[in-house]
Amino acid sequence: MPALTNRQVRLKSRPSGIPQAEHFEIVEAPVPELADRQFLVRNEFLSVEPAMRGWVSAVANYADPVAIGEVMRSFSAGTVIASRHPGLAEGDQVMGMLGWQHYAVSDGTNITRKVKETDLPLSLSLGLLGLNGVTAYFGLLEAGAPRPGDTVVVSTAAGAVGSAVGQIARIMGCRTVGLTGGPDKVALCKDAFGYDAAIDYKAGNLADALKAACLRGVDVYFDNTAGAISDAVMSQLAVGARIVICGTASISSWDPPPLGPRVERHILVKRARMTGFLIFDYQHRYEEAIARLAVWVREGRLHYREDIADGLEHCPGAIAELYRGENLGKRLIRLPR
Amino acid sequence: MPALTNRQVRLKSRPSGIPQAEHFEIVEAPVPELADRQFLVRNEFLSVEPAMRGWVSAVANYADPVAIGEVMRSFSAGTVIASRHPGLAEGDQVMGMLGWQHYAVSDGTNITRKVKETDLPLSLSLGLLGLNGVTAYFGLLEAGAPRPGDTVVVSTAAGAVGSAVGQIARIMGCRTVGLTGGPDKVALCKDAFGYDAAIDYKAGNLADALKAACLRGVDVYFDNTAGAISDAVMSQLAVGARIVICGTASISSWDPPPLGPRVERHILVKRARMTGFLIFDYQHRYEEAIARLAVWVREGRLHYREDIADGLEHCPGAIAELYRGENLGKRLIRLPR
């Protein structure tokens, strides 16, 4: 194989809030020779996630921060193009923490899984059949514990996680109400993801709109935003409500934590339960969820939207774009073959 | 039986925050004749509870508010002195929603239970062997789910509920840390209730004191206060922490809800669970808890303190005194025979 040149997106400086394009730089680097038990992946799709804000933050979090000068941590999906590893052969498709770069050398420890659903697009392994779908699946079913007939409210309802939550809730026999920003996403929620109601939180009067859409109160709130959106939902809880804290996209900085109305009274009076959900705790059960999700995709019961940008140069600004809500569907970067 | 004159504490006006003496009045009223299936209770002990603030509040709550002019709702314990009810005889001891008054006519619907632990003081049926003890028992064991070795932090640690929580947690093999106000209550926590550590939240530097007392973080937080005390605890959670919201004693008014640091990040990063706990949901299991608690009392494993005032005239100001933390032990009003 001729010597390959890699292009990588590296962390240049540490942001205090949401990472912007200027916090990254694109550099060229040689692809090293493979050692024994290593393999080389040519990345085809790179993921962009809200969680990336946490990965580059210096504030204590559930993973060590990406170091300055290090390749930006990301889930990526690609094809093995050379292998000295006994478990993987040329042509195998893999998904893992392969970083924002064209080529990744791996010994397998940073591989999340070998992609088995080769009848479906590889990009799905970064979205609906990846962490987003698995997060929606376990977050809703385990922490949210939905029952048929429940009213399930989802924030970032048109997003990669939220759209899966809404659809899985419907499959479970729930009524679904999506909260999203702008008329395009409201339409997407209703037309593509089958929400029974979708509310544009930017249109004002969220509390009234929620009340009208959830006449018997909110049984499950799957929360990807926190902030003012959550404040409105908290005042509409039904008795025994379950709140799943999955993300806090509307909070631009947690240092110091912003103020909001205290929630204890809602939690107490409604005997509600608020649970923090982190998908990494479910690593041992990924295949169980993906197998189920893939069946629903093949049956046409689970739909998805992808918003794909071509070329590594789209990476640096992609996290900030995500937080501005500019994407319609799962945000991915596609690399040329 | 000669005609009896009743004395009652009635709600005179509706408070917006914590009820004060001026919101009540003491009036005399005749004791009506018993109808068929009714019985007459001479109250011996009247309870004073933090929850009374909610019972007289106009803000939507989990029970209808006490009407203006109505006898103040309260748990009371007394002896049946006349009965036309087939299930109760003269001399039986009962506990129930008998109100702040000397005599109560009942058809049984407002009776919580017939007191069976006649070897123990009747006053206990309003505290450790009443709602306070049962709240501690189910709140800790069901919502808090303590495991041996857990660090359990309790707010209002010397109070009627808190002191039972701390002791039950110890019986369950947990390390217990009590938060309370003032050196007298700190001493009570350590000497009478066996807390491994007790912190005076009024002494300042609560966050540092908590950190020092909970080196591996807080596994269970049994919260009776909300507010600044909870803010300090939330920043010390261990992974998988359980927070039981049982009361909000430090918040003087929820209308509008006061602001505080948002909790979602703590909940998410620590995969914590915050559960609202209301004892009325466990009504069908009271006897199970009381039987267990009574055994622990008889074995000398569960201690209690009572702070008893003699005479109905202590009732009107008693709720405000409770919120000022002036009592050392369960606050009760004793009525003369």
Ordered by start, the domain boundaries in chain A are 5-127+304-334, 132-280
Closest CB from B262, B274, B281 relative to A267: B274
Q: Which DSSP symbol is given to A59? A: S
Beta carbons of A271 and B277 less than 8 Å apart? yes
Q: Name the E strands within chain B.
A: 5-11, 24-30, 39-47, 76-83, 93-96, 103-106, 111-114, 151-155, 175-180, 197-200, 218-223, 237-245, 259-261, 273-276, 306-310, 330-334
Query: What is the rounded CA–CA span in Å between residue B233 and residue B199?
Result: 12
Pair A41, A81: CB distance under 8 Å = yes
Number of other residues whose CB lies within 10 A of the CB of residue B306: 19
Q: Which of A326, A300, A293, A299 is nearest to A165 (CA)?
A: A293
Which chain A residues are closer than 8 Å to B273 by Cβ? Answer: 273-276
In the prediction, which pLDDT does A12 show?
A: 97
Give the per-residue pLDDT at A60. 56
Give per-residue pLDDT as tens, A245-268: 999 988 888 888 999 999 999 999
Counts for chain B of helices (H) and strands (E), in that order: 9, 16
How far is B127 from B96, CA to CA, in rounded Å? 12
Class of domain B5-127+305-334: alpha beta
- CATH class, A132-280 region: alpha beta
Q: Is A148 exposed, middle or buried (0-12, 13-18, 19+ CB in 10 A)?
A: exposed
Residues of chain B under the 70 pLDDT cut: 1-2, 60-62
> What is the per-residue pLDDT for A38?
97
Q: How many CA atoms lie within 13 A of B263 on its CB side?
A: 29
Looking at residue B66, what DSSP letter applies? P
Report yes or no: A27 and A263 within 8 Å, Cβ to Cβ. no
pLDDT of res. A62: 63
What span, in angstroms and rounded, lies between the C-alpha atoms of A101 and A316?
12
Q: Does ipTM top 0.85?
A: yes
* Cβ within 8 Å, pair A276-B260: no
Token pair listed for B281: 């949901």
* A291 contacts: CB under 8 Å, gap ≥ 6: none
Residues B315 and B333: beta-carbon distance below 8 Å:
yes
A5-127+304-334 maps to CATH 3.90.180.10: yes
Distance CA B259, CA A140 (A): 29
Dihedrals phi, psi of B273, to nearest 5 degrees: -130, 125
**Residue A238: closest CA among A288, A160, A175, A304:** A175
Of B226, B269, B275, Cβ closest to residue A262: B226
Q: Whole-number mean pLDDT of chain A?
A: 95
In terms of Cβ atoms closer than 10 Å to its own Cβ (0-12, 13-18, 19+), residue A114 is: middle
Answer yes or no: do A271 and B251 touch at CB < 8 A. Answer: no
Output the six-digit token pair for A257.
Answer: 């934590």
Write phi, then psi, for B265 (nearest 5 degrees): -65, -45
pLDDT of residue B237: 98
Those residues of chain B whose CB sits closer than 8 Å to some CB in chain A are: 60-62, 223, 226-227, 230, 245-248, 251, 254, 256-278, 281
Nearest to A60 by CA among B140, B38, B217: B217
- Neighbouring residues of B137: CB distance < 8 A, sequence distance ≥ 6: B164, B168, B289, B292, B293
Omega before A32 within 30 of 0, i.e. cis = no
A292 exposure class (CB count in 10 Å sphere: 0-12, 13-18, 19+): middle
Query: Does the structural domain B131-280 have CATH classification 3.40.50.1820?
Result: no
Strand partners, B242: B220, B273
Separation in Å, CA of A47 to nearest CA in chain B: 22
Each residue's pLDDT tens digit, A164-190: 999 999 999 999 999 999 999 999 999
Which residue, among B139, B161, B153, has the nearest Cα to B197 in the 3D structure?
A: B153
Q: What phi-psi label fits residue B23: left (phi over 0), alpha (psi between -120 and 50 degrees) or beta?
A: alpha
CA B53, CA B61: separation in Å to the nearest integer? 11
Q: Which two tokens stand for residue A274?
A: 């608020």
Q: Are A51 and A19 in contact (CB under 8 A)?
A: no
Contact A264 B61 (CB under 8 A): no
Please report the pLDDT score of residue A282 as a whole number.
Answer: 96
Return the bridge partners of B237, or none: B218
pLDDT in tens, chain A (337 residues): 567 899 999 999 999 889 999 999 999 999 999 999 999 999 999 999 888 998 998 775 667 899 999 999 999 999 999 999 999 999 999 999 999 999 999 999 999 999 999 999 999 999 999 999 999 999 999 999 999 999 999 999 999 999 999 999 999 999 999 999 999 999 999 999 999 999 999 998 999 999 999 999 999 999 999 999 999 999 999 999 999 999 998 888 888 899 999 999 999 999 999 999 999 999 999 999 999 999 999 999 999 999 999 999 999 999 999 988 888 889 999 999 7
Report d(CA B297, CA B294) in Å as an integer.
Answer: 5
Please answer whether residues A286 and A134 qualify as being in contact, where contact means their C-beta atoms are separated by less than 8 angstroms: yes
Predicted pLDDT at B337:
78
**The two structure tokens encoding residue B21:** 């003496």
Task: Please indicate whether, in this complex, the C-beta atoms of B257 and A254 are within 8 angstroms of each other.
Answer: no
| A267 vs B282: CA distance, rounded Å | 17
| Residue contact B271–A276, C-beta within 8 A | yes
Tokens of B96: 């129930």
Q: What is the DSSP string of B224-277?
A: S--HHHHHHHHTTEEEEEEEEE---TT-S--SSPPEEE--HHHHHHTT-EEEE-
The pLDDT of residue B295 is 98
